[in-house]
């Protein structure tokens, strides 16, 4: 029997994902790593940081990662802590993060890997701390190296600031949510609204409190194409798409 996720569970997942992505971004900024992925041994990506400027090489590298992930995961399960694989057009470092998780660092150019290993090791420890949701107490921080403890303190401030910023935007998000509910009601009926939204929020792994200006149009587009179009046809879906998305974008802009 599947366990139904509560709204609080989804918000906790959103905050956890934000913390993971924030750390990947910091690692990217302080090293030569071009792309960072945090994944399970089964290949599921928990979090990633992929700059828009990365270019087409990322597709070749990610395909190679997919092909090699199971083999590398088996090696790591046997006690291998790190695996460095060099390809013609890039290098991938697979690093074990606890049991069942991997930090994957992709380099698309020629770099001195030795200068980046310390930063990757710090990132591994921070990711493990976040992923296992360990307490951010002085006692816990004292068990880490100075570099890891300092990074965790910085990350803690980033997450706190994000929570503060998001809470200040809570009213805006609730207004957008109410508007979307009315739009769905007009097409599908009030009885379908909560189920439609629950499926859409679950699909993008977010919740109303943690929505951003980029995610709202994506959510609406997903509702139209995945739920309205199959049930009510292209004509109704096309009308919704033509009217709803510009309206949501306009409302988002009006809050700036």
Condensed to tens digits (0 to 9), the pLDDT of residues 35-58 reads: 899 988 777 888 888 887 766 666
Residue 47 pairs in a beta bridge with 38
Q: What is the pLDDT of residue 4?
A: 40
Measure the CA–CA gap between 199 and 227, rounded to whole angstroms: 9
| 61 or 128, higher pLDDT | 128
DSSP 38-86: EEETTS-EEEEE--GGG-THHHHHHHHHHHHHHHHHHHHHTT--EEEEE
Residues 227 and 133 in one domain: no
Domain assignment present for residue 81? The answer is yes
- What is the tally of structural domains in the chain? 2
Residues 155 and 188 in one domain: no
Of 135, 166, 197, the residue that ends a domain is: 166
Residues 151 and 86 in one domain: yes
Domain assignment present for residue 6? The answer is no
What angle is formed at CA 207 by the lines to CA 2 and CA 179, rounded to 5 degrees?
Answer: 120
pLDDT tens-digit map of 181-235 = 999 999 999 888 999 999 999 888 888 877 888 899 999 999 999 999 999 999 9
User: Exposed e or buried b for every residue in 102-111, given b needs 16+ CB within 10 A?
Assistant: bbbbbbbeee
Measure the CA–CA gap between 66 and 181, rounded to whole angstroms: 39
Q: Are 105 and 50 in contact (CB under 8 A)?
A: no
As given in the structure block, the two tokens for residue 227 are: 């739920």
Residue 227 is given by DSSP the state: I
Residues 106 and 231 in one domain: no
Residues 226 and 203 in one domain: yes
Residues 54 and 28 in one domain: yes
Q: What is the pLDDT of residue 231?
A: 92
Of 166, 191, 222, the residue that ends a domain is: 166
pTM for the structure as a whole: 0.60
Strands 90-96 and 101-107: antiparallel
- Which residues form the domain of 206? 170-254
For the chain, what percent of residues have pLDDT higher than 90?
A: 43
Residues 72 and 126 in one domain: yes
The strands making up 90-96's β-sheet, listed across from edge to edge, are: 45-49, 35-40, 101-107, 90-96, 82-87
Average pLDDT of 112-131? 92
Lowest mean pLDDT among 18-22, 102-106, 163-167, 200-204: 163-167
Average pLDDT of 88-108? 86
Q: What is the pLDDT of residue 12?
A: 59
C-alpha atoms less than 13 angstroms from C-alpha of 113 in its C-beta half-sphere? 14
Of 120, 145, 166, the residue that ends a domain is: 166
Residues 155 and 185 in one domain: no
């Amino acid at each position: 029997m599947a366990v139904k996720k509560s709204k609080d569970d989804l918000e906790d997942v959103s905050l956890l994902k934000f913390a993971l992505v924030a750390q990947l971004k910091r690692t990217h900024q302080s090293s030569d790593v071009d792309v960072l992925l945090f994944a399970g041994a089964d290949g599921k990506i928990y979090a990633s940081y992929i700059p828009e400027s990365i270019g087409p090489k990322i597709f070749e590298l990610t395909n190679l990662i997919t092909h090699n992930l199971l083999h590398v995961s088996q090696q790591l399960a046997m006690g291998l802590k790190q695996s460095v694989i060099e390809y013609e057009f890039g290098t991938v470092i697979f690093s074990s993060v606890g049991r069942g998780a991997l930090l994957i660092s992709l380099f698309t150019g020629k770099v001195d890997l030795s200068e980046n290993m310390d930063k990757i090791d710090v990132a591994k420890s921070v990711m493990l701390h976040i992923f296992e949701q360990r307490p951010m107490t002085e006692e816990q921080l004292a068990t880490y190296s100075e570099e890891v403890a300092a990074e965790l303190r910085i990350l803690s401030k980033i997450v706190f600031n994000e929570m503060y910023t998001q809470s200040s935007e809570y009213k805006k998000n609730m207004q957008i949510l109410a508007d979307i509910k009315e739009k769905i009601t007009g097409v599908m009926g009030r009885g379908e609204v909560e189920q439609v939204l629950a499926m859409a929020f679950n699909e993008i792994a977010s919740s109303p409190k943690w929505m951003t200006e980029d995610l709202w149009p994506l959510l609406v587009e997903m509702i139209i194409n995945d739920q309205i179009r199959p049930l009510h046809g292209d004509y109704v879906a096309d009308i919704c798409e033509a009217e709803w998305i510009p309206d949501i974008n306009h409302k988002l802009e009006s809050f700036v």
